[in-house]
Amino acid sequence: MAIELRSGFKYGTVLSIAVVLFAYWFRLPRSVLDERLDAVLSSLLRAERKVGINDVARPRVAVGFGGCVDIIVDGVTLLNAVGLQPAGRPLHHDYVENAEQLAQSFAYFFAPGAASERFVLNDTLFSQLVEASRELPGNRWSIGGNAPVMASRMAGEGCSVLLGGSFSTDFNDVLSQHITVAGNTVEEPDIHLILEYPAGATWGQYTSRRANRYIIHSDDHNPYLDSMEEFEKRLQTFKPDLLVVGGLQMMDNFPFKQGQREALLSHLARMLSSAAPQTSVHFEMASFVDEDLLWDLLRFVFPHADSLGMNEQELPNLLSLFRGTNVTVLSDPNPRVATVLDQMRELYRLVNRRQQAAGAGRPLSRLHVHTLAFQAIIVTRGSQWKNTMSATAKASLTANRHVCGSADIDPSKARLLMDESFSVSRREGSQRIPLQETRPVSCWLEDDYEICVAPVLVCTEVYQTAGGGDNISAAGLVLQI
């Protein structure tokens, strides 16, 4: 593979890296580590600042669908409080019907520390858990759902936002003044229960390998995309630069009536296909296990998306669908850069090949994958997406800010998990790229696209993991429109 390397800010340097350094820096003395971290942080901040957002002519972004109120609790504390014994063995369930399944399903994702979200098909159980969470010391409430989180991040970054979702009036009151809501007003908002856990938490015989969350919900409004009609009407006059679709995982394993889901998604497809050519469309993936729904997404949503965002679980999950194998529900939560880049190249190629064969819709010109240790973005050369290097840096900084719960990054609460250099592919003889602390974002050209990779300053004092992907994706997008 011939690669033209762009490291940091400028194009051009073709690096041939002969020496691979095996000195992982956790073996280096602490002071050297701190210096590296400080250098990476200041370089990422500089990269982020390189591009400003025009907050006079605010970029216009429309984001759908849905939203909820999140109750965030410590997962293990909650399960102990309701007297749920650790499951004898971890087991995956597509949805949760009773307490035993909840214990098995939680154990399945908790031990490896993999992000997951499941539907609870038992109102009694779900209400009991919500009631227990209300009583739990240290619980927090916040605005949740992919669309409102992305909308808030974008409004916070200087965009003017149209948000498609049905909310209660007090919910509307806490949204930014730069967000206009299109949807119905509801009395009882949907509640999502976020079971957070830090790295090294224990539950019976299980110990979590990394910080993450397990989300459960039992929504009444969100699966029906009930704000879609109002949102669609407003779109015509709002004329967004970017249209973002997320929150469709609320349809996963939801007991729809025959044909109902397909009707909703084909309505969505019509809406997306009527977007103006100058409006870019982004779809944010999520935790899906319902294979039929995934196929419907490929059929109704992907053909209209210029851009996709997802995490390290969702990427192999999608690929498994293309490969015709069983849908993966659990993948390595700490994948290597080379593995993720290979998967990204494959997905980019497969989606575009499908698009070409269909002869309609939009080609995929952007793919952003967020992982714990790094951010990676692929952008088609000559496409509408700008500032990929700065966007990757911003995504990486946002990961720390979100998880640590602070806009100011404290290097003493951060750690670099990425090695001193990374291989661009698992193929034998692939090039290695050193991680330069003064130019931590590596960008290079391949085929018809550019790839940028940035290390994440992984937060070591976790405030919250839920909503991270949405904040990160949104932060990356705002610099690219």
Ligand X SMILES: *[C@@H]1O[C@H](CO)[C@@H](O)[C@H](O)[C@H]1NC(C)=O
* Residues engaged in binding ligand X (CB under 6 A): 97-99, 122, 124-125, 128, 142-143, 149, 152-153, 325-326, 398, 401-402, 467, 471
Distance CA 201, CA 210 (A): 9
Nearest residue to ligand X, scored by beta-carbon proximity: 152
365/471 with CB nearer ligand X: 471
408-415 long-range CB contacts below 8 Å, 24 or more apart? 409/41, 409/45, 409/457, 411/34, 411/37, 411/38, 411/41, 411/457, 413/459, 413/460, 413/461, 414/37, 414/41, 414/457, 414/458, 414/459, 414/460, 415/37, 415/457, 415/458, 415/460
For the bound state, the minimum distance from the C-beta of residue 294 to ligand X, rounded and expressed in Å, comes to 14
127/274 with CB nearer ligand X: 127
Q: Would you list the DSSP string of 378-406?
A: EEETTSS---HHHHHHHHHHHHHHHHHT-
40 and 142 Cβ atoms separated by less than 8 Å: no
- Say if strands 60-64 and 242-245 run parallel, antiparallel, or are unpaired: parallel
152/421 with CB nearer ligand X: 152
26/141 with CB nearer ligand X: 141
* Residue-level length of the chain: 481
For the bound state, the minimum distance from the C-beta of residue 204 to ligand X, rounded and expressed in Å, comes to 19
In this structure, the number of other CB atoms found within 10 A of the CB of residue 91 comes to 13
For the bound state, the minimum distance from the C-beta of residue 64 to ligand X, rounded and expressed in Å, comes to 16
Strand partners, 192: 70, 217
124/237 with CB nearer ligand X: 124
309/467 with CB nearer ligand X: 467
Distance CA 222, CA 319 (A): 26
For the bound state, the minimum distance from the C-beta of residue 99 to ligand X, rounded and expressed in Å, comes to 5
343/398 with CB nearer ligand X: 398
For the bound state, the minimum distance from the C-beta of residue 211 to ligand X, rounded and expressed in Å, comes to 15
Distance CA 172, CA 187 (A): 12
177/278 with CB nearer ligand X: 177
140/349 with CB nearer ligand X: 140
For the bound state, the minimum distance from the C-beta of residue 456 to ligand X, rounded and expressed in Å, comes to 13
413 and 399 Cβ atoms separated by less than 8 Å: no
> What is the distance, to the nearest Å, from the Cα of residue 293 to the centroid of all Cα atoms in its chain?
19
For the bound state, the minimum distance from the C-beta of residue 155 to ligand X, rounded and expressed in Å, comes to 9
Residue reference for tokens 């600042």: 49
For the bound state, the minimum distance from the C-beta of residue 37 to ligand X, rounded and expressed in Å, comes to 19
161 and 151 Cβ atoms separated by less than 8 Å: yes
**What tokens were used for 377?**
């973005």
For the bound state, the minimum distance from the C-beta of residue 144 to ligand X, rounded and expressed in Å, comes to 8
465 and 116 Cβ atoms separated by less than 8 Å: no
